[in-house]
Structure 1
Amino acid sequence: MVRMTEVKRTQLSHLTAQLDDLRQRGTYFKLRVLEDEQGPVCTYDGRRVINLASNNYLGLCDHPKLREAAISATENYGVGSGAVRTIAGTMRIHMELEEKIAAFKGVEACVVFQSGFAANAGTVSSILGKEDFIISDELNHASIIDGARLSRAKIKVFRHKDVAHAEELLKEVASEPGRKLLITDGVFSMDGDIGPVDRLCELADRYGAIMMVDDAHASGVLGRNGRGSVDHFGCTDRVDVQVGTLSKAIGALGGYVCGSRDLIDYLYHRARPFLFSTSHPPSVAATCIAAFELLEREPERIERLWGNARYFKEQLAAAGFDVGGRTTPASETPITPVIVGDGRRTMEFSRELFEAGVMATGIAFPTVPEGKARVRTIMTSEHTREQIDQALETLTTVARRMGIL
């Protein structure tokens, strides 16, 4: 008699084979465990390291004002909302957060989702149908790709940041029935380059397309007080759908969509992640409100972020690292890839850096194309010059030892 556990192992043996293939390629990884606060220097797996892997751009993950807001909300409202938003889980603090973000972005309304991924996928899949068209940058985030597939719309992909190619695709479908959605990342997460939001807005205006921008890595980084790439290009009135995140520069958890009142009311009724996920704990909503208030009051955080990013990028390039622009798009933001190329070598480089005291995550296929594996680094406002110099020294020493430099 075959035991049930043996049957299960047989039925999932294809997963074991794929994991074995990852091990063979040298790109298999284990999760590193953070043992204290998310900061410029912290402890992973018992080792104290300079952290170049975090999206905590402005150091808000452990800010005292955000801690106070979270504790106060927990004491006043409890630890959970108890339901999805459309049944019994919409608390006054959720509405306050949406109103705060809408005012910050200068739009009519906002809806908060449980994650940035849910915001993108839920929005694209709900506002379009199989008779419609999506014109999407080839390097757009996975959540946009998944949302496009779920929508069942016809997907056309334009070459990265190639506005002329995007126009070719729009011309091809101009006479076709159905809506057209033109979509780009504001900042591309793997290369750190900025999307041509202003020029794509011109195309959307010319061809009557819906314009959508995913500003996850631009929120808190670009624009006035961190209002994002849409504000950076002065396109607030020309972008129909703005997506942002609460889990990177804002320091907490979640995503959001900004736009017209009708767009947001429609998403309340039809966006499946919104309809079928329990709403944020009140502590998270309160934390995010406090973060947006800090963005307004402390613009110097963003100035420090950019000062650190420019210095780090310059020093990496001076040392001879490929930081984009040779075989990949050039980085224009605090995201700076160190291009290695080979996946196995990249993951070995990342592991050696960790052993030497620097946390910098290796990223290989399928997240990036074959031959373009990299160690992705991210600067924050809270890194000191001493920490940056130490990280640079470690990167250079390890790279030379491994023959990368």
Structure 2
Amino acid sequence: MSRPRGAVIDADRWPDVVAVPPCSAARRTAGRFVVRHALDRLPLQVTMGAGERLGTGGPLLEIHDPDSFLRRVAAHGLVGFGESYMAHEWDARDLVGVLTVLAENTATLVPPSLQRLRSLWAPRQPAEQRNTPSGAQANIQHHYDLSNDLFALFLDGSLSYSAALFDHLPAAWPDLEAGQHRKIDRMLDLCGVGHGTRLLEIGTGWGALAIRAAARGADVHSVTLSAEQRDLARERVRAAGHQDRVRVELCDYRQVRGRYDAIASVEMIEAVGAEYWPTFFRTLDSLLAPGGSVALQAITMPHDRMLASRNTFTWVQKYIFPGGQLPSADAIEETARAHTGLRVTACEGFGAHYAQTLELWRERFAQQDDSVGDLGFDATFRRMWDFYLAYSEAGFRSGYLDVHQIQLTGQGAGQ
């Protein structure tokens, strides 16, 4: 089945979406077996072209071009699965529902015999995505410097791009900004921010946490690697009247110097990379004043799945967050304990709230489709972004992903 009319894909911008990858006959045969074996036992309704039907019933997954779909998955696994969606080779009326079923069964989609050989067939993260100081800046700018106007189209007025904490579920769009403020306030409470607190924020976003901390009387040093975020955050700080209490800098966390009574970081550890987790926690330890606390908000995954997939190159890393790596809650605790004097003293998950947050963002993004196009983002980008939001929501709905607010306290060797 050809792509829908009007779905012209820019080959220069999206070369791996336009081109179906070459794939050996043996690999195609193996891929076809794995895909059919996996889909046929899942609670899905799967149509493969005009004839074949798979699945045990559930959300509808329509594969319009089975040959291209199977070649992509056989050649590039889940990267190919996402690219096949971007290429309109498959569709789902309930995209989140389909992806949730797949997320619930991630650990068993590939037979155990092939799982053990994962290092041989799974694509690996490119060396250029390593989070060295220069690599980290390029990785962050790839996503966060897309356009402030783009993010403003689907985020609430606080411009918070992380999980909200609602006072009830389900929640609606009018509840979102209050939920974001509730999340920030709990973070500030976790690290004891009040009048006169010297607060370091690692990962500025667009300034929401810094502004609320300054309103409590804190003196805030906020660092980011996104020039667009820095500039708008500074504007928002000035508009809120807190420019004397908040300093926003373009700076890698490894370059920060000084001592702080509290450190807060919201969903930034996902961009650190497992290779640099020890460096990240040693940096926190060296910057924290005696008696201080760290508050982290982190997207997490189960420890066993983190270990199984940590060296795999994913669709999200290729198209959305280059260099990203989700930790487990265990990995955070173990890394801090092994490399610092910091200890986890509180840890609370609220994954269902992230699923709700993502649902609201996805609905809003769909409503703003024309406006996104007016900013210069083509139809393939918009389809990619919808897939990213749905993919993420499904991760939280299935329990494959969670989000935690974590408090760390203690004295390290550098204090």
Q: Please report the TM-score for the alignment, with normalisation by the length of structure 1.
A: 0.31
